[in-house]
Chain A
């Protein structure tokens, strides 16, 4: 027993040192950097939905240019860090898009981008229009039979949509059949895919963004299925198939040699 205690204490000291080293190392990776440029932060994180010219997407993503709400810095910060969904009214028009919380932005990033938005000095977009998407290609991306160029995950890994109902069971993410309706059209979907709207998706696509064509194809696919009536089997095929498989595995055990089932001692006894 003493040895076990000795073992535990020795390792505990090693662990303490290692853990302390880890925690000390963690902040140092951030390092001292130059203050971020508000425009860069805006173009990388906000422009996909609110557009480079700050005019937003009608019905989905409100304009930031000329929007009186953006002058309240605390409010803008709370929206950036906490996200915003549900209908809101800006300058007499209603918008019903979904904005995820941007947990990837540092305080300095947020301050700089708020200053950029409040200055209302957005630059016109110019030539940023997406090419029209291909529905079939979009479905192939959804299913993963066409892999995303930057190796992001296929949608079907976590989502259901239209007649792709994941063996009629629960998925990690929500059903996307009416995504285009919820977002207010294919353009809004394509824009939102620049920064996937969930905290689960963001780190998965961090460093693996979808290309413009992939976003356009997916948006076209979601637009094409938005009116589909979803039908699913009342039986969870994964559950039923798995239980049948288990019964088969147990049944296969009957094929094991009798020596394994009975043990050597039993065999000796039976020979007496």
Chain B
């Protein structure tokens, strides 16, 4: 079996099954462990600049990847005008750079904040390295092998659909430069790490996180009227 088959036929299926199966198992059997493991209570000033930039940037980029997968023809038509192609590519690169900036702030924060370091696990480091590598290779591709939004619909989109329809076409990816193959392979690594790390919080669709107050404190206290009523009841019953 060639490396090509291992990386672009076997690895994707292994990764997808692990990600789906592992996540289902974890959400059903260990529901309380499904968490983003937020450290905002420990440090939140750098977190705002890092987390906000990273999450909004990466969400926009991932959405663009997903839209290209489900409606490649729209991308081809959009990119048929040079001006629209340039706007899409520059915006995409800016969003990626925004996400990268946020990620670097988050890494700096994790390296410098002692409070955050105390709760940092090995898996957190793996996730940081994986996501950082994925953003860097993606930007490298955007700069060095343009225009990904245009050729992607004719290389990666048919490749991913070939995986989904169980008729893998690794020959689409096999002749591509190393960085493009690395970007694809890192995604399988990302999927494999998914159910075993804080990455699972992605499937919880935390949409309110994008607009809610940065930190929410929920007071756990008993209702005063309820307490007063209870006291009265207990007194009239002759208890205590």
Contacts and interface: CB of A to CB of B under 8 A. Distances in A.
B154 A249 contact: no
A54 to B, nearest CB: 29
A245 B94 contact: yes
B26 interface: yes
Contacts of A131: none
B161 interface: no
B15 to A, nearest CB: 9
A65 B177 CA distance: 37
Contacts of B94: 241-246, 248-249
Contacts of A23: 1, 10
A145 B154 contact: no
Contact of A14 (B17, B49, B167, B175): B17
B147 interface: yes
B77 interface: yes
A44 interface: no
A270 to B, nearest CB: 13
Contacts of B82: 143, 156, 164
Interface in A209-256: 236-239, 241-246, 248-250, 253, 256
Interface string B124-153: 000000000000000000111111001101
B97 A245 contact: yes
B44 interface: yes
B97 A29 contact: no
Contact of A18 (B13, B167, B215): B13
Given A204-B172, A263-B214, A157 B79 contact: yes
B116 to A, nearest CB: 15
A171 B76 CA distance: 17
Contacts of B214: 259-264
Contact of A204 (B22, B79, B155, B166): B155
B214 to A, nearest CB: 4
A200 B176 contact: yes
A30 to B, nearest CB: 12
A157 B149 CA distance: 8
Given A157-B79, A198-B175, A200-B175, A263 B143 contact: no
A7 B26 contact: yes
A169 B146 contact: yes
Contacts, number: 189
Contact of B167 (A29, A152, A158, A243): A29
Nearest to B97: A246
A245 B13 contact: no
Given A172-B151, A263-B215, A253 B172 contact: no
Contact of A3 (B30, B40, B90, B217): B30
Contact of B146 (A22, A145, A238): A238
A268 B98 CA distance: 31
A208 B48 CA distance: 48
A7 B143 contact: no
A220 to B, nearest CB: 20
Given A245-B97, A265-B217, A154 B76 contact: yes
A263 B30 contact: no
A4 B104 CA distance: 31
Interface string B160-179: 00000011110110111100
B111 to A, nearest CB: 20
B7 interface: no
B51 to A, nearest CB: 10
Interface in B211-225: 213-217
B97 A15 contact: no
Given A15-B14, A167-B86, A143 B176 contact: no
Nearest to B217: A264
- Looking at A4, A22, A204, A238, the one whose CB has the most chain B CB atoms below 10 A away is A238
Given A3-B29, A7-B25, A250-B98, A264 B216 contact: yes
A157 B9 CA distance: 26
7 contacts: A22-B10, A26-B9, A156-B147, A166-B146, A167-B86, A203-B175, A239-B143
Closest 9 A/B residue pairs (Cβ): A245-B94, A242-B93, A157-B150, A199-B175, A246-B97, A241-B90, A153-B154, A263-B215, A264-B215
Given A15-B18, A263-B44, 20 more contacts: A3-B30, A11-B18, A11-B25, A15-B17, A26-B168, A144-B76, A144-B80, A153-B76, A153-B151, A156-B150, A158-B150, A164-B82, A169-B143, A169-B146, A171-B145, A199-B174, A242-B90, A245-B93, A250-B98, A264-B213
